Amino acid sequence: MPRERPAAPEFDSERPRDAAEEGSELAWLRRAEAHGVPVTPMAVVPAQVEGDFYRWNNLPERIEALLAELDPGDPDEDDVEDLLPTAAAWVRDHALLDAVIDTFYAALGDLPSRLTVRRPGAPGVAASRGRPALIAVKRIWAEDWLLSPSLARVRGGRGWLPAPRPVLVHAADLRADPAVAAAAARALGRPVAAWSDPEGRLARLELG
């Protein structure tokens, strides 16, 4: 029976309104914006895109088969390290659906040419707008198959497969900004560290 193509989700190309877990950086950015703190325009690649990518390419089944001989209760680190590059390569090398790629490119249309691509709570990587940013998203997904996060998942009882998470894309050249941090702290009612974009808008924060 042929697989049903997942629908291409909407990417928010204006503000971080993607459904975010309470307490995540996305949720705090939304809350700061709601209290009047200017937030940088950004595209949010929803967690759904990553989950659909794994399912469409049969990666859960293939990765489970790849790692089936490992004891999740006490995996041999040398064996794990030998196998993880294969899982990471599958993530990097498989293509996204054309509809998802087109939606992603459209969401980047009003963003600067120099971008940061990152998970919430992480500094991320630099990339140019267009295909380099798309490759950066795949690279970030593949980083879930580095040794440390992989062992943390399985030893924490969460299994080998990573939970899908959103990816943020926004202006590069961020700077630590005490004034923006103070404004965000007043809005959120708690101390934060904050980074602003070249226009002085909040782009990244960490709770103090």
Task: Give the predicted TM-score (pTM) of the model.
Answer: 0.88
Residue 92 has pLDDT above 90, yes or no: yes
Q: What is the pLDDT of residues 109-132, one digit of tens each?
A: 999 999 999 999 999 999 999 999
Q: Average pLDDT of 83-95?
A: 96
Residue 13 has pLDDT above 50, yes or no: no
Q: Find out whether 171 and 198 touch, Cβ atoms under 8 Å.
A: yes
Under 8 Å CB-to-CB from 42, ≥6 apart: which residues?
12, 13, 15, 16, 111, 168, 169, 170, 203
Q: What is the pLDDT of residue 72?
A: 86
| Residues facing 114 on adjacent strands | 128
| pLDDT mean across residues, the chain | 90
Output phi, psi for 24, to 5 deg. -80, 165
Residue 23 has pLDDT above 80, yes or no: no
Q: What is the pLDDT of residues 165-176, one digit of tens each?
A: 999 999 999 999
Q: What is the pLDDT of residue 15?
A: 44
Domains of the chain, by residue range, sit at 42-173
Structure tokens at 10: 């909407």
Burial of 119 (0-12, 13-18, 19+ CB in 10 A): middle
